[in-house]
Amino acid sequence: MATTQTSQPQHWFSPLDLLTRRLRVAVEPTPLAAATAVERGPAAVRTYAFATVDYPGAAWSFLADTNGTTAVGYFFMDPHSSSVATAFTFKGGVYRVLTVPNATMSFALGINTAGTIVGTYEDAAGKRRGFKNSGATFTDIAYPRAVDTQAIGINDAGKIVGTYTDAANVQHGFLFSGATYTTIDFPHATGTTITGINAHDDIVGGYPDANGARGFVRKAAVFTPVDFPLTKFTIAWSINDAGDVAGYYYDANGIDHGFVFSGGAFSAVDVAGARGTQLMRIKNSGQVTGACAVALGGEQGIIGQ
């Protein structure tokens, strides 16, 4: 397969580390009305009605994406460990494990309108690979000569984005289109991860700085930082076709909050009664997916409109 490359960054945290970490939570739940969340900040106020999507019996569930018919995510059964994750699908009220061949741990992270699913798995030797699933067919996504690869997002044209680590332990973002892998790195950053792509091939992701991490949008090869105001850690996970971005940030107390960036303005998104919120996708309809930490312990997948 052909490859192209844009720059040479160095090392930072792995997206898999973000996927296996528990949400950072507040001591007390937020005082908002049940079953809703308020998007507040410089943008116009919106109210989301949230529903939970929890794999039966799981201690933690995360809802990564939906195409309006099928939702995908991952869960953990052990409330005291994040060592074993399992990918799942949710369609027509039915939960199913997504059995990724040779996986000891798996994450379903993206789905397009055709129903093609992408994600990441780890095998018995501890090697991480991306995967693409269409119907009954699974295909590995593995950047050439990389130590590990994680596929994180997919658009309706089937273009896949994610991250890989090279032999020097340097982390890079990538785009996989057709049969070609292309490295995409934030200029002068010490590492890059890419998490989402829309129909216009606009890309979102993150990179580290001296204080934490910053999100970014890349449009027509131009990078623009996306940083929630007055915070040190922002992760941009998704961009829809209108250019709206969703993700999450840590506040000054290290608590997770979701955000939407739309029309040049940020808004925080917190699930009512939750002690922490993360958003992972924003769809063209404005629907959002993610997870929240509940007051009694554990984490729930969420979908909101």
Pick from 277, 250, 279: which is nearest to 262 by CA?
279
pLDDT in tens, 82-114: 668 999 999 999 999 999 999 999 999 999 999
- pLDDT higher than 70, residue 74: yes
- pTM beyond 0.85: the answer is yes
| Number of domain units in the chain | 1
* Domain-embedded: residue 259: no
In this predicted structure, what is the pLDDT of residue 195? Answer: 97
Q: Which of 97-101, 140-144, 192-196, 255-259 has the lowest mean pLDDT?
A: 255-259
In this predicted structure, what is the pLDDT of residue 125? Answer: 95
| Domain of residue 143, CATH code | 2.120.10.30
pLDDT in tens, 44-54: 445 788 999 99
Name the residue range of residue 161's domain: 2-31+54-247
More confident residue, 192 or 3: 192
* Domain-embedded: residue 300: no
* Domain-embedded: residue 234: yes
More confident residue, 116 or 83: 116
* Domain-embedded: residue 277: no
* Domain-embedded: residue 189: yes
